[in-house]
Structure 1
Amino acid sequence: MSDPIAAALQTYVDAGAMAGAATLIWRQGRELQSCAVGWADREARRPLARDTLFRIASMTKPVTSVAAMTMLQDGLFYLDDPITTVAPEFGDMRVLRAPDAPLGDSVPAERPITFGDLLTHRSGLTYGGLHPGPLSDAYAQALGGDIDSHVAPDDWIAGLAALPLIAQPGAAFNYGCSTDLLGFLLARLEGATLGETLARRVFRPLGMTDTGFLVPAAQRHRRASLYGWTADGVIEPRQTASAGSSLPERPDDMAYESGGQGLWSTLDDYLTFARLFVEGGGPLLTPASYELMVRNRLSEPQRQAATMMGVPTFLPGHGFGLGLATVLDPATASFTRGKGGVGTVSWPGAFGGWWQADPTDGSVMLFLTHNVLDLELAAQGIGLGVYGAIGEFHALGVELKA
Structure 2
Amino acid sequence: MSEVVAGLDLERLSRIAEHLDTQYLSPGRLPCAVTVVARRGQVVWQQAQGLADVERKVPAEMDTLFRIYSMTKPITSVALMQLYEQGRFLLDDPVHKYIPSWRNLQVYKSGVYPDFVTVPAQRPMTIRDLLSHQSGLSYGFSCRTNVDAAYRQLRLDGHSGLSLEDLIDELSRLPLEFSPGTAWNYSLATDVCGYLIQVLSGQPLDEYFADHILNPLNMSDTFFTVPGDRLDRFAACYQHQPGDTFSLQDDPQTSHFTRPHGYLSGGGGLVSTIGDFYRFAQALANGGELDGARIIGRKTLEFMRMNHLPNGADLPSVSTGGFSETPYDGSGFGLGFAVKTDIARSQTIGSPGEYGWGGMAGTTFFIDPVEDLLVVFMTQLIPSSAYAVRQELRALVYGALVD
TM-score, normalised on structure 2?
A: 0.88
Whether the 8 Å contact between 1:173 and 1:302 is mirrored in structure 2 is no
1:117-151 residue CA offsets vs partner (Å, 9 max, x unmatched)? 1001111101122144532332123344x243310
1:80-115 residue CA offsets vs partner (Å, 9 max, x unmatched)? 111112111101210012698985221011222111
Cα distance in 2, alignment partners of residues 302 and 334 from structure 1: 14
Matches within 5 A, 1:29-178: 29-97=41-109, 103-132=115-144, 134-144=146-156, 146-178=157-189
Rate the CA distance shift 1:4–1:301 in 2: closer, same or farther, 3 A. closer
Whether the 8 Å contact between 2:158 and 2:262 is mirrored in structure 1 is no
The structure in which a higher percent of residues are strand is 2
Q: State which of 305, 317, 340 in structure 1 corresponds to 2:350.
A: 340
Aligned pairs, number? 383
Q: Percent identity?
A: 34
Whether the 8 Å contact between 1:8 and 1:392 is mirrored in structure 2 is no
Rate the CA distance shift 1:302–1:319 in 2: closer, same or farther, 3 A. closer
Report the alpha carbon displacement of residue 301 of structure 1 after superposing the two structures with TM.
5.3
1:193-221 residue CA offsets vs partner (Å, 9 max, x unmatched)? 11111111211111111111111110011
1:224-245 residue CA offsets vs partner (Å, 9 max, x unmatched)? 101113345432212279xxxx
Whether the 8 Å contact between 2:239 and 2:248 is mirrored in structure 1 is yes
Rate the CA distance shift 1:352–1:91 in 2: closer, same or farther, 3 A. same
Q: State which of 6, 10, 29 in structure 1 corresponds to 2:21.
A: 10
Secondary structure of the structure 2 residue equivalent to 1:105: strand
Amino acid at match of 2:355: V
Rate the CA distance shift 1:310–1:281 in 2: closer, same or farther, 3 A. closer
1:269-325 residue CA offsets vs partner (Å, 9 max, x unmatched)? 111111233212232221220121011110255631315337996645221110101
Cα distance in 1, alignment partners of residues 380 and 325 from structure 2: 24
Q: CA RMSD in A?
A: 2.5
Q: State which of 320, 328, 332 in structure 2 corresponds to 1:319.
A: 332
Matched residue, 1:274: 281
Secondary structure of the structure 2 residue equivalent to 1:71: helix
Whether the 8 Å contact between 1:124 and 1:174 is mirrored in structure 2 is yes
Cα distance in 2, alignment partners of residues 55 and 227 from structure 1: 11
Amino acid at match of 2:345: T
Rate the CA distance shift 1:21–1:113 in 2: closer, same or farther, 3 A. same
Structure 1 unaligned residues grouped into runs of 5+: 242-246, 379-383
Cα distance in 2, alignment partners of residues 334 and 101 from structure 1: 40
Secondary structure of the structure 1 residue equivalent to 2:92: coil
Rate the CA distance shift 1:321–1:33 in 2: closer, same or farther, 3 A. same
Whether the 8 Å contact between 1:16 and 1:234 is mirrored in structure 2 is yes
Whether the 8 Å contact between 2:331 and 2:340 is mirrored in structure 1 is yes
Matched residue, 1:238: 249
1:357-395 residue CA offsets vs partner (Å, 9 max, x unmatched)? 111121111111000129xxx7xxxxx23x2x3333221
Whether the 8 Å contact between 1:275 and 1:364 is mirrored in structure 2 is yes
Amino acid at match of 1:362: D
Matched residue, 1:390: 390
Secondary structure of the structure 2 residue equivalent to 1:67: helix
Cα distance in 2, alignment partners of residues 132 and 287 from structure 1: 39
Rate the CA distance shift 1:56–1:253 in 2: closer, same or farther, 3 A. closer
Q: State which of 358, 370, 380 in structure 1 corresponds to 2:368.
A: 358
Q: State which of 249, 262, 265 in structure 2 corresponds to 1:258.
A: 265
Structure 2 unaligned residues grouped into runs of 5+: 1-9
Matches within 5 A, 1:209-228: 209-228=220-239
Alignment of 1:308 with 2:321, yes or no, is yes
Cα distance in 2, alignment partners of residues 128 and 354 from structure 1: 22
Secondary structure of the structure 2 residue equivalent to 1:347: strand
